[in-house]
Structures are given as structure tokens and as C-alpha cells.
Amino acid sequence: MSEALSVVAHPALEVQGVTKRFGDVLANEDVDFRIERGRVHALLGENGAGKSTLVNIIFGLYQADSGEVRRNGEVVHLNGPRDAIDSRIGMVHQHFQLVPVLTVAENVVLGDEPTRRGVVDLDEAASVVRGLAERFGLDIDPWVRVEDLPIGLQQRVEILRALYREVDILILDEPTAVLTPQETGHLLEVLRGLADTGVAVLFITHKLREVMAVADEITVMRRGRVVGHTVPADTDESDLASMMVGRPVELRLKRTPASPGEKMLTVVDLVVNDDRQTQALNGINLDVCAGEVVGVAGVEGNGQRELVEAVTGLRDVISGSVILDGEEIAGRSPRQISTMGVAHIPEDREKFGLIGAHTVADNMVLNRYHHRPYSRHGIRRPAAVDDEATRLVEEFDVRPPNIAAMVATLSGGNKQKVVAAREFSHESKVMIAAQPTRGIDIGNIEFIHRRLIEYRDAGMAILLVSAELDEVLGLADRVAVIYGGRIVAFESVDGMDRDRVGRLMLSGTDG
């Protein structure tokens, strides 16, 4: 297959033998890579595999230490985004580069405005935007301010901006990370359409499903090197995952059906306000039984955070009740609730789950330092803390296995293992796991998923809140969909499929 491609005279872009080093870290090592016109090329790899470095070299943000970049067969030296844009390479960054207070049309033409007698011609800009939108199926109102648009449409503005500059290579860095399933589906269609008009699309991701759905070609990177190049017809998701991680990976957890016991956590008519004191939860009802995983699916910002914080005592309950194994816990302090048997993996490990400047050992006992044997009469006992930390580091395979290291020096996945180790290590009845695998590597995701199921089977009641639909559908025994502060569906996972949950997440109904 790849031999057939190589007969095309000059690829749109070719990277040959590129090596890039940051200090001691070899970010890219002898990378060979090419993008063809009219094709969607997926660049796949875990965090730190070197994808971003490679793309930044292509976009001129970094200069390679050695090797060369060819554009249509000619060696080019790009010294920054300006050169890249002049060379008709466009990039949609993970964090949008838009001016929120300007309109769609203004954002699109910014830096290259159509003028009439020295004044920016906004009508012209708007009609250009309309033309582009029509041509590429990116329907949008050019007069709306960008800050008033949902994320999916903001991304559309970014793409239009690149198209306005008539790029023939479009790079998208993790474009689906912020999108709902429906928005993702639409984006993939748009990318397909762009490729059909002859644009070379380079699509960076770690989501295997999307790669299989849209890519014409797939390049996999691991530890700075290209470790594989294939096409969807010759591979499948678990092959790709193994290539990314470098060992066989279990993508779909094999799990036995749950054998739920008694109700452990019951939420009744719960009303909670958000930080701006407007109602975030409008009377939610939910229950989790021992030995079962209940997954809460929803687009972020629909009340998930408030739900988790209310259950763990971090947020005031306006009305309603939260019952843990028969006892009311609404109104109690976070510490009381934790002691009564609610463990909590917070959604943002850096901000809420860990103290970066503390050691691994101190973080392992962050919620138990005041119990024996970690302290006695208010005096800490470092030896006991170290013993426990050593045990947990081993059990949860935290790397490097150094309990004296500052947590801030660990990778994201290992940080999350520290949080998980701490929260699983004390005998809890209920585990609240919020976004437990966000931003971590496949290998660590697999590890944490397996732990969740193990503890479920041991009788723990698990409330899983996740923006990853696959995670919810793969782990949960029952699924609750949250929309606008209400639970719009709560039933067995057997009756839930991606489409239906996606519709519920987006509109609150599945009609």
C-alpha cells in the first residue's frame, strides 16, 4: 500500500531524518514522515511520544537539530508560524487562538483584512466567510461574536481562518478533545470533505475510534520515533493501541456482570448552586449499590462537578439529601464524609488531588495523616508514612518508585496513580471517581480501569463521572445522563448506545 503511495511525484510535505533534542530528552529521533494531498493523515501517539514536537517543527515553531522538511519536493526552512502560513500551512491549535470579543468574520480575516479605501471592509469579510462556509460545509453566522459561540463552533472559526489563507496543509492538534460526540462526528465529516477538495489534513490524536473512522493513513509514534505506518484497512484499534504503548493492551475490559448489593449511596431531590449562586442541580435523584459502577455521562458543565462536590461535602447542599449506607451525610464536613466511607478521585488531580511540592509519601496519606499509625497525639511518624507509601507505590506501580520525590516531578499518569492509590487504600464504601483517566496514557488508563472493576467486584459502590463516553459505557453497569442539572436518563448500560447517550447529552432527550 505504501509503495503505491510513494510513486506520487512530490508529497505535499515530507519530513526526513528529523531529530530534535531538548536538553537530555530526545523528543524526535530520525523521524521520516510524509503527508499527501487529498488525504487525511492521522498522527497517533501517547503523551510525550513526540507528536507535538514534530508538528511544531512542521509549523516552524521549532527548528530541527538535524534532518530536513520538504514542501512539494523542495527543502524549506520555516522560521515561525508566519513562514508556515506563507507556505500555505495552517494549524488549529488545541487551545484556540481567537479574539473572543471580535466577530466570526473579524477573527477569520484578522491579520489579512480586506480593505476599502484603507478601512477594513467587514461586509466583504463576512461574504468571504459565508462563501468559505458554504464551500466546505462549515455553516456559521459571520456576525456573531466568538465568545458567544459553543466550543465546537469556535473550532469551526479556527478552521475557516486557515482556509481563508488558502492553506493546502491543515494541521489539527487534538481537535476532538473538547468536542461532544456529535460535534466530533461533524468535524470528522468536515475533515473528510476538506481532503476531498485536495487539502492535506494532518490530524493529531490519541483516540483510536476517530482514527479508524476518518484516516486514510496512520502514523504511530512512540518515544520520539515513528514506530509504524499503516492504513485503517490493515489494522484495528487494539493493534494501534499496542503500537502506541509498545506492548499488548486490553482495550475493552473483560468484566463479569455486576452483582449489586444494597444501596450504598442515595441522592434524593438534590439541589445545589454553582459558584455564581445559580442553581446547578435541580433536584437530582441517583443511587449506587454496593458492587456496581454507576456512570454519569454528560457534556462538561452540566452539573457534574457540583454533584461530586455536594456528595463529598465540598459544596453546600441547598435542599434534598445524600444518604450513605442509611446515614444522612448532606451538611457534614468533607473530613467527616471521608471518614464515614466516601473516597474521592477529584476531576483535576493537579489542582484538587495532589500537593505538587509535597513528596509522594506525604501525598499518599494526604487524607489520613491524622490517623494512626501516621501520627500519634498530633506528632507525625514519618517512618509509618514511608512504610505505607512504599507499599502503595509498589502495589500501584508508581514510576519512578521513589516515595521521597516531589509529586510535581511525576508524569500525569503516575500522578493519577498516586491519587488512586491513596483513595483506594482505605476501606471505603463508596468511591466517587471524577474523570479518573483524563489526559493519561493508554497503559495507565487500562490500569486504573482494571482497579475500578476489581474494587467493584470486591463490593465497593462506584460513582464514575466522565466526559469520555467510551469510558462510561465500558465500565458502568448503569448509566445516568446529566443535562442542564437534571438526570435525563438513568438505566442499565444494556439499553444505552453511543448515539442515544450522545443525543441525551446534547439535548436532554433521545427523540
Partner 1 sequence: MRMLKPVAIPLIAVGLALGIGAIILVVSGANPIEAYGALIDGSLSSQKTIGRTLEKATPLIMGGLAVAFAFRAGLFNIGGQGQLVVGGIFSAAVGFGFEGLPWIIHAPMALAVGALAGAAWGSIAGILKATRGAHEVITTIMLNFVALNLTDWLASHSWKDEGILSRTPAVEESAVIPLWGSFPTGFLVAVAASIACWYLLERTNLGFEIRSVGLNGDAARYAGISVQRIVIATMAISGLLAGAGGAIETQGVVGRYEPGFNAGLGFNGITIALLARNHPLGVIPAALLIGAMEAGGSMMQFNADVAPEITDIIEALMLLFVATPIVVRWFFSRQEVAEVSVTAGWGSP
The Cα-based distances of 329 to 9, 267, 323, 336, 425 in angstroms read: 69, 10, 6, 8, 22
- Of 97-105, 153-161, 264-272, 343-351, the segment contacting partner 1 by CB under 8 A is 343-351
Nearer residue to partner 1 within complex by CB, 19 or 375: 375
**Minimum distance of partner 1 from residue 381's CB (angstroms):** 9
Q: How far apart are CB 368 and partner 1 at their closest, in Å?
A: 9
Stretch that binds partner 1, among 99-107, 113-121, 369-377, 489-497 (CB under 8 A): 369-377
By CB under 8 A, which span of 39-47, 212-220, 336-344, 483-491 interacts with partner 1?
336-344
Omega prior to 373 cis, within 30 of 0:
yes
CA distance 390 to 412: 19
Nearer to partner 1, 259 or 333 (CB): 333
Residue 354 touching partner 1 (CB under 8 A): yes
For position 315 contacting partner 1 by CB under 8 A, the verdict is no
Q: Give the Cα separation of 356 and 221 in Å (integer).
A: 29
303 binds partner 1 (CB under 8 A): no
Q: How far is CA 138 from CA 181, 214, 397, 418, 464, in A?
A: 17, 17, 46, 43, 35
Among candidates 239, 204, 198, 233, which has minimal Cα distance to 216? 233
Cell readout for 154 is 469556535
Q: Is the Cβ of residue 219 or residue 367 nearer to partner 1 in the bound state?
A: 367
Q: Which is nearer to partner 1, 81 or 334 (CB)?
A: 334
Compute how many residues bind partner 1; rule: CB under 8 A.
Answer: 27
* Distance from C-alpha of 450 to C-alpha of 397, rounded to nearest angstrom: 13
Instruction: Specify the DSSP element, H or E, that contains 279.
Output: strand 279-289
CB of 355 to partner 1, least distance (A): 5
225 is an interface residue for partner 1 by CB under 8 A? no
CA–CA dist 175, 293 (Å, integer): 30
Kindly state whether residue 351 participates in binding partner 1, applying the rule CB under 8 A: yes
Residue at 141: amino acid letter = D
- Tell which residue, 174, 131, 135, has the closest CA to residue 151: 174
The three cell numbers locating residue 274: 454553582
Options 53-61, 235-243, 318-326, 338-346: segment touching partner 1 (CB under 8 A): 338-346
Binding residue for partner 1, selected from 292, 362, 441, 477, defined by CB under 8 A = 362
Q: Tell me which of 67, 356, 412, 439 binds partner 1, using CB under 8 A.
A: 356
Q: Where are the alpha helices (DSSP H) in 165-204?
A: 181-196
Q: Using CB under 8 A, which of 1, 82, 139, 369 touches partner 1?
A: 369
- Identify which range of 162-170, 299-307, 331-339, 452-460 contacts partner 1 by CB under 8 A: 331-339
Using CB under 8 A as the binding rule, whether residue 185 contacts partner 1 is answered as no
Is 370 among the residues that bind partner 1 (CB under 8 A)?
Answer: yes
Continuous H helices in 331-374: 334-340, 360-364
Strand partners, 76: 69
Instruction: Kindly tell me which of 116 and 372 has the beta carbon lying closer to partner 1.
Output: 372
Q: Which is nearer to partner 1, 258 or 431 (CB)?
A: 431
* Residue 408 CB, nearest approach to partner 1 (Å): 10
Closest CA to 413 of 383, 456, 448, 386: 448
Query: What are the cell numbers at 428?
Result: 471505603
Largest CA distance in the chain: 80
Q: Of 486, 484, 429, 489, which is closest to residue 459 (Cα–Cα)? A: 429
User: Measured from the CB atom, is 1 or 404 closer to partner 1?
Assistant: 404
Binding mask 3-42 toward partner 1 (x if CB under 8 A, else -) reads --------------------x-------------------
Query: 280, 205, 189: which is closest to 241 by C-alpha?
Result: 205
Other Cβ atoms less than 10 A from the Cβ of 261: the count is 12
Interface stretch with partner 1, choices 297-305, 351-359, 397-405, 453-461 (CB under 8 A): 351-359
CA 272, 277, 282, 283 torsion: positive or negative? positive
Q: Is 352 in the site for partner 1 (CB under 8 A)?
A: yes
Contact predicate 312/329, CB 8 Å: no
User: What angle is formed at CA 209 by the lines to CA 203 and CA 215, rounded to 5 degrees?
Assistant: 40
Pick the stretch among 71-79, 260-268, 361-369, 437-445 that binds partner 1 (CB under 8 A). Answer: 361-369
Q: Which of 212, 340, 366, 488 binds partner 1 (CB under 8 A)?
A: 366
Selected binder of partner 1 within 9, 119, 233, 379 (CB under 8 A): 379
d(CA 351, CA 354): 7
- One of 279, 375, 390, 402 touching partner 1 (CB under 8 A): 375
Q: Is 314 in the site for partner 1 (CB under 8 A)?
A: yes
Q: Note the residues at the interface with partner 1 (CB under 8 A).
A: 23, 312, 314, 333-335, 338-339, 344, 346, 351-358, 362, 366-367, 369-370, 375, 378-380
